[in-house]
C-alpha cells in the first residue's frame, strides 16, 4: 500500500490550478466589501400624539443625571463644565450605583449585588435614590457634532454594561457578546439586567447652532 | 531484528499539489464572508468609532439609511442628505420608505425592523434628530448607530 506511488505519476498537470484560483481570489477581494452591521442599539421613544399633552412625570432632580452637549461640543455634566467626555463612564457608574435612598425593593437588589459593586455605592444624598430610579439624560443642540454625541452615548452604555457584566462575573466584552440564543446565555443576560434598567434618555435637541 | 529497507529517495521538490486546495479555501472564505455591494453610496461615509458595539442576530431585519454630505456637491449641495436605497430622499419620505422596507419582512418580524443609521462623522445632530422624529412617526423605533470598533 505504502509504495503504490512508485508506479510513477499519471496525474493531470494541475500546476496552473493555483494560478486560476488566485485570480478568482483576487477578483473577489477587490470587488467585495465586508458588510459591517455592528453598532450601538437604541430604542427611540414612541411617537407623541400632538393632542395629548406629554405626561407630567414628577421625578426628583437628583435621580436624573444631566449631560448637555452644546454646539461647540463642550459638555455640561450635572452643571459642571467639561472639555471632553473622558472619565464620564465612571461618573455614570457612581450615579447609577449610588443607592442614596433605596426602598425595600432596592435594598433587596443591593443585597443581591456582588461585594465589588456594593462597595461602589456612595450613598450621596444628592445623587440617585436607587438604580431603578436613575436616568441618564443626554441633551444636545442641533449644532452638536454627531461623533461627540455618540461618544457620550457610548460611555453611558459602557457604564451599564460594566455593571451588568460585573454582576454576573464576566468581562464587559463577554457580556456584550451574549446573544440570548440559548437558555443559559439568556438567563445570564437577564440576571445582569434584573432591577437595573438601562435608562438613557435622549432629549430632543434645541435649535442652537444648527439649521 | 528485522530487515529495514532503505527508502527510495524521491525528488527534492516541495509538493505543491495541495496549493490549489489552500487557495480555494481562502477563496471560499472570502466568498462567504463578503457581500456584494448592491448600491452606490451617494453621501460621505466616515463612520465614527465606539466601544460598546453590539451585533444583531438577524441581518434580514436591518435596513440601512445613510446620512452625510453628498459626494457630488455640485448636484446635491453641501448640506447633509439622507440616502435610502439608491436615492437621496427628504425627511417626509422616510415614513414611506420604512413602510416599504417593513412590507418586505415576514409578518412576524415586522415589529422588529431595525434601522441602521450610517452617519458620517461630520454631520450635526440636527438632521439626525429630524430623521429620528420621522422614524418615530413610522413606528420603526429600533435604531442602530452604525460604528466601527475603537482600538484602545
Q: What is the ipTM of this complex?
A: 0.74
Residues of B whose CB is below 8 A from A179: 57
CA distance A76 to A92: 14
Lowest mean per-residue pLDDT among A28-37, A105-114, B14-23, B120-129? A28-37
To the nearest whole Å, the CA of B73 is away from the closest chain A CA by: 18
Residue A53, pLDDT score: 72
By percentage, how much of chain A surpasses pLDDT 70?
Answer: 88
* Contact state of B144 with A205 under an 8 Å Cβ cutoff: no
Q: How far is CA A139 from the centre of its chain?
A: 17
Question: Which residues 118-147 of A have a C-beta within 8 angstroms of B?
Answer: 140-147
To the nearest whole Å, the CA of B65 is away from the closest chain A CA by: 12
Q: In this structure, are residues B102 and B111 in contact, taking their beta carbons and an 8 Å threshold?
A: no
Burial of B105 (0-12, 13-18, 19+ CB in 10 A): middle
Model confidence over A26-74: pLDDT tens digits? 887 777 666 667 888 888 888 877 777 766 666 777 888 889 998 888 8
Measured between CB atoms, which of A14, A33, A45 is closest to B20? A14
Measured between CB atoms, which of A14, A40, A47 is closest to B147? A40
Q: Which letter does DSSP use for residue A129 in this model?
A: S
Reported pTM: 0.78
* Contact state of A145 with B57 under an 8 Å Cβ cutoff: no
Nearest residue in A to B61, CA atom: A37
Which residue, chain included where needed, has cell 457578546? A177
Query: Which phi and psi angles does A119 have, rounded to 5°?
Result: -65, -20
* Contact state of B27 with A25 under an 8 Å Cβ cutoff: yes
Spatial CA neighbour of B20 closest among A26, A27, A17: A17
pLDDT higher than 70, residue A199: yes
Amino acid at each position: 500500500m505504502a509504495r503504490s506511488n512508485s508506479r510513477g505519476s499519471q496525474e493531470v498537470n494541475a500546476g496552473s490550478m493555483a494560478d486560476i484560483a488566485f485570480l478568482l481570489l483576487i477578483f473577489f477581494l477587490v470587488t467585495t466589501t465586508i458588510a459591517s452591521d455592528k453598532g450601538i442599539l437604541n430604542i427611540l421613544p414612541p411617537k407623541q400624539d400632538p393632542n395629548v399633552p406629554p405626561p407630567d412625570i414628577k421625578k426628583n432632580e437628583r435621580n436624573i443625571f444631566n449631560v448637555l452637549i452644546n454646539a461647540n461640543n463642550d459638555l455640561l455634566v450635572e452643571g459642571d463644565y467639561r472639555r471632553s467626555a473622558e472619565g464620564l463612564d465612571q461618573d455614570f457608574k457612581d450615579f447609577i450605583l449610588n443607592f442614596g435612598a433605596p426602598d425595600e425593593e432596592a435594598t433587596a437588589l443591593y443585597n443581591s449585588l456582588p461585594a465589588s459593586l456594593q462597595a461602589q455605592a456612595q450613598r450621596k444624598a444628592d445623587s440617585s435614590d436607587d438604580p431603578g430610579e436613575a436616568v441618564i439624560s443626554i441633551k444636545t443642540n442641533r449644532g452638536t457634532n454627531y461623533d461627540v454625541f455618540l461618544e457620550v452615548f457610548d460611555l453611558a452604555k459602557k457604564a451599564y454594561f460594566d455593571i451588568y457584566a460585573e454582576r454576573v462575573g464576566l468581562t464587559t466584552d463577554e457580556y456584550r457578546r451574549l446573544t440570548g440564543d440559548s437558555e443559559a446565555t439568556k438567563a445570564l443576560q437577564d440576571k445582569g439586567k434584573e432591577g437595573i434598567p438601562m435608562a438613557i434618555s435622549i432629549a430632543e435637541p434645541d435649535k442652537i447652532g444648527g439649521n | 531484528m528485522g530487515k529495514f529497507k532503505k527508502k527510495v529517495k524521491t525528488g527534492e521538490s516541495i509538493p505543491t499539489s495541495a496549493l490549489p486546495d489552500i487557495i480555494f479555501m481562502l477563496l471560499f472564505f472570502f466568498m462567504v464572508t463578503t457581500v456584494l455591494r448592491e448600491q452606490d453610496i451617494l453621501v460621505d461615509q466616515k463612520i465614527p468609532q465606539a466601544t460598546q458595539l453590539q451585533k444583531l442576530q438577524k441581518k434580514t431585519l436591518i435596513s440601512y439609511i445613510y446620512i452625510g454630505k453628498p459626494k457630488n456637491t455640485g448636484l446635491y449641495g453641501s448640506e447633509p442628505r439622507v440616502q435610502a436605497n439608491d436615492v437621496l430622499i427628504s425627511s417626509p419620505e422616510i415614513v414611506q420608505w420604512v413602510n416599504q422596507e417593513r412590507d418586505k419582512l415576514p409578518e412576524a418580524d415586522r415589529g422588529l425592523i431595525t434601522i441602521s443609521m450610517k452617519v458620517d462623522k461630520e454631520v450635526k445632530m440636527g438632521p439626525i434628530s429630524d430623521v429620528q422624529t420621522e422614524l418615530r412617526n413610522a413606528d420603526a423605533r429600533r435604531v442602530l448607530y452604525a460604528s466601527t470598533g475603537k482600538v484602545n
